[in-house]
Amino acid sequence: MTKGIIMLAAGGTGGHLFPAEALAHELKALGYSIHLVTDSRAERFAGKFPADEIHVVPSATIGSKNPLKVASSLWTLWSGIRIARRLMAKVRPKVVVGFGGYPTIPPLLAATGMGIPSMIHEQNAVMGRANKALAKRVKAIAGGFLPEADGPYAAKTVTTGNPVRPAVLEAAKVPYQPSGEGEEFRLVVFGGSQGAQYFSKSVPTAISLLDDGLRRRLKVTQQARAEDMPMVEGCVAKLEMNADIAPFFTDMADRIAKAHLVICRSGASTVSEIAVIGRPAILVPYPYALDHDQAANAAALAATGGAKVIAQAELSSEKLSKILTGAMTNPGKLADMAASAKQAGKPDAARLLAAMVEAIASGSTIAQFKETRS
């Protein structure tokens, strides 16, 4: 017997699914059955998701100005809401929790319309458009970086932090060990779940500008898009680099734990995982994000001293090479950054979020839940 069904709704990208996966593990341990509602993109990530059932519900985003495309999107959304309502009536979840992305809109609208307790979790420091559309309707809002004291929904917002996966919590047990003079220096470079073309070009060039002695110390893990692999591998061979290059690493948490420095984008899950593990980072926010959420996420960690933020437009290969030189020759500075990042991490985010879900399931108000924490 389970305590009941909790339904998690998340868009089919790693940024939305990873925190949902972490919460699912926590709720399963508490005795709940987990159902995931997502879209077809989730197949790449959902293999490890501890869901008893996975439901694909149609959804669409309304970003086009073409009237025919808008009409088609609205019809898809309407169809998705109808399917979600039938799903809710059949499954009868105790709570529906949304994690952002347009695939969450039909199930959350269905749940709120049927009076099923519901809440959303916003990973970023700036609320995404899907969550903005749902914020007024749900009973509670959990935030990775959202402050509890500001904004129109402050009364029902709790800053839980972003849940991280069990692999990240395991990696967090590994203490940071600075790289001394002449010792191997492990550099990890990645651009989020989809990789980053920018890093594929700039990082090998920056490494080529390093002094020979520093370059020989480097052990590089770099995520590269499949179409960029030949270019990056060619640079690796030419520079005789000690490097692992791949489009996706399943053991990224372990690699971050072993890193002396991380260079990456600043998606919410990425920033949260780096902080929990406690590693110094150079954060390069994705410059074309509509809400500039990555810049806000990066600023939150940089404010603690755990990371340095550099805009992509300002980060030439020459500047990056100087940064690498400074990092490799000043291990004490990196150790201080690692400690600051670790202090900013919220390893208990999944536990706190699970407690919040249980409170909503039991009929408690968010005000009552906040009182139990004080």
Q: Are strands 33-38 and 5-9 parallel, antiparallel or unpaired?
A: parallel
Q: Is 13 annotated as a binding residue?
A: yes
Q: Is 14 annotated as a binding residue?
A: yes
Phi, psi angles (nearest 5°) of residue 330: -135, 70
The closest of 348, 351, 346, 361 to 30, measured between CA atoms, is 351
Q: Is 321 annotated as a binding residue?
A: no
Q: Is 100 annotated as a binding residue?
A: no
Q: Is 161 annotated as a binding residue?
A: no
- How far apart CA 33 and CA 8 sit, in angstroms, is 11
The three-state (H, E, C) secondary structure of 72-119, written as one string: HHHHHHHHHHHHHHHHHHHHCCCEEEECCCHHHHHHHHHHHHCCCCEE
Q: Is 306 annotated as a binding residue?
A: no
The closest of 157, 158, 84, 100 to 132, measured between CA atoms, is 100
The closest of 71, 114, 124, 139 to 271, measured between CA atoms, is 124
Residue with tokens 């919040």: 356
190-212 b/e (C-beta count within 10 Å ≥ 16 → b): bbbbbbbeebbbbbbebbeebee
- How far apart CA 274 and CA 266 sit, in angstroms, is 10
The closest of 119, 112, 114, 168 to 8, measured between CA atoms, is 119
Residues facing residue 8 across a β-bridge:
36, 97
Q: Is 47 annotated as a binding residue?
A: no
Residues facing residue 245 across a β-bridge:
222
* CB neighbour class for 182 (10 Å; exposed up to 12, middle 13-18, buried from 19): exposed
CB 161 within 8 A of CB 144: yes
**Which positions make up the binding site?**
13-15, 124, 165, 193, 294
**Which positions make up the binding site for UDP-N-acetyl-alpha-D-glucosamine?**
13-15, 124, 165, 193, 294
